Structure 1
Amino acid sequence: MSTRVAIVTGGSRGIGRAAAERLAADGLAVVIAYAGNDAEAAATVEAVEAKGGTAVAVRADVADEHAVAALFDRAEAEFGGVDVVVHAAGIMLLGTVADFDLDALDRMHRVNIRGTFVVAQQAARRIRRGGAIVNLSTSVTKLALPTYAAYAASKGAVDAVSLILAKELRGRDVTVNAVAPGPTATALFLDGKDAQTIDRMSKANPLERLGTPDDIADVVSFLAGPGRWVNGQTLYANGGAA
């Protein structure tokens, strides 16, 4: 049996990087898709290779269907196919509904909604039997925190696409799920928050801490590997936050 192959979007930092490193440790060859930071992408590849794994980095705008098709082309040319797609690329812009900048709304929806749809479309067309698609969502869709409306709306679309795609792939032996992290110690979450806010949100769940990228990567690894009977679900990985 040939080596299984994973594409991880947003794979150069945060949860995406942790997922890429974990899947490489699980024995998959990993194609790390990143938006623009060449140094971070190269560092992720080096980290994977330092532990004996195999990885390449490909720059791609996830909302550009031609770039995403080229990303899948590269994975197939380099490793022979695609078995796992982890879509972790996304942006988070916060603000109240009353005051939210609509240009910022369009920018976030382009990345989070169109990007998810474009990546899912290529995955649906090209993933091999026995594969898994894992999209990163958010627990804020359930927690309903003020200033998160626009972001939560964009991630609600991720849940919808994931659950419906799981049904559309009937007969393909491919699972599709969303993982919804709670507050997680990444730059995406920490940037712009003061220490008091971070401490308050850290204690919002019964485990009284922020999640780590590795916590979420564990869930991704399960869904990409042994969790074959979990399909068409949104898994809330948030330490028990309500």
Structure 2
Amino acid sequence: MSTILITGAAGGVGGILRPRLARPGRTLRLLDLAEITPAAGEEVIQGSVTDPDIMLEACQGVDAVIHLGGISGEAPWERILDVNINGTYTLFEAARRAGVPRVVFASSNHAVGFHSPDDFPIREDVTALPDTYYGVSKVAGEALGALYAKRYGMDVISIRILSCFPEPRALRSLSTWLSPDDAGRLFEACLTAEKPGYRVVYGVSENTRGGWVSLDGARELGYESHDDAEVYHDKLVAEFGPIDTTDFAFKHLGGPFCSPEFDADNL
């Protein structure tokens, strides 16, 4: 693929993916409200995913879109509706009008966050149980992807990312971590899989303490994990103490997002 649009490219996952998706002859077109200094093989468009004109311009001549743009955590409903839900619709509609054949949508485990360990490993086709307004926006994005795939023949892959950071940040991340290199492998598989149609897959490394979600769908696309959060076990235990699976963080896939801290009155 010669030109790939990455929305939300200035964010954490965008920064992880940019060097890992760079290829000779490939252009990464980066879109964000924040300023970005482009590297070789990159071009920048500054603007919002909620602006139809900017999104249509950004989608011109694009072979695939990686849609990361949006609010990356919980927020009041009005902001989630505007940026995450309307912004995702704006992206899909711009991609359709520009003739973009493939969209890779960054969904989240929070689309199914209220599933408990009784449901592990959580399959790709489970009932949506969002844990927050943010999680609802990811369910909506997956639904928009299904619509544009079935109605307009677009290839759409929604990746329910668990925890994608340079290193695991908490004890539960020993189970949920998606390493930067594995993230690059997974997104590359989503970009290059032949005729995937509509898919939902999980984004996680094959961690020793994993097994919370299914990796079958990701493997079908050609993804192979090479990394394991277990190498950070001793460091995390030294920082946070021994693992206690009765802690609230382990009661649901969504972890702390399922706690009363995220009730609407607290936003």
Output the TM-score relative to the length of structure 1: 0.71
Residues 90 and 215 of structure 1: is their aligned pair in 2 closer, same or farther, counting only changes over 3 Å? farther
% identity of equivalent residues: 21
Equivalent of 1:56, from 27, 37, 43? 43
SS of the equivalent of 2:198 reads coil
Unaligned runs of 5+ in 2: 117-129, 206-210, 214-267
Q: Pick the structure with greater CA Rg.
A: 2
Bigger relative contact order (CA 8 A; separation at least 6) = 1
Match of 1:65 in 2: 52
SS of the equivalent of 1:203 reads helix
Residues 27 and 17 of structure 1: is their aligned pair in 2 closer, same or farther, counting only changes over 3 Å? farther
Q: CA deviation at 1:27?
A: 3.9
The number of aligned residues is 195
Match of 1:181 in 2: 161
SS of the equivalent of 1:137 reads strand
Unaligned runs of 5+ in 1: 95-100
Equivalent of 2:184, from 212, 217, 221? 217
CA separation in 2, counterparts of 1:26 and 1:151? 36
Backbone CA RMSD of aligned residues: 2.6
CA separation in 1, counterparts of 2:160 and 2:27? 25
Give the letter aligned to residue 172 of structure 2.
Answer: M
Q: CA deviation at 1:69?
A: 2.2
Q: CA deviation at 1:181?
A: 0.6
Match of 1:204 in 2: 175
Give the letter aligned to residue 13 of structure 1.
Answer: G
SS of the equivalent of 2:171 reads helix
Matched, 1:82 2:62: yes
Q: CA deviation at 1:145?
A: 7.5
Q: CA deviation at 1:12?
A: 2.1
Q: CA deviation at 1:182?
A: 0.6
Equivalent of 1:137, from 107, 110, 114? 107
Output the TM-score relative to the length of structure 2: 0.65
Q: CA deviation at 1:153?
A: 0.5
Given that residues 113 and 131 in structure 2 are in contact (C-alpha distance below 8 angstroms), is that contact kept between their aligned partners in structure 1?
Answer: no
Equivalent of 2:87, from 105, 115, 119? 115
Match of 1:98 in 2: none
Q: CA deviation at 1:161?
A: 0.8
CA separation in 2, counterparts of 1:214 and 1:13? 16
CA separation in 1, counterparts of 2:98 and 2:57? 12
CA separation in 2, counterparts of 1:60 and 1:236? 29
Q: CA deviation at 1:231?
A: 2.0
CA separation in 1, counterparts of 2:58 and 2:29? 8
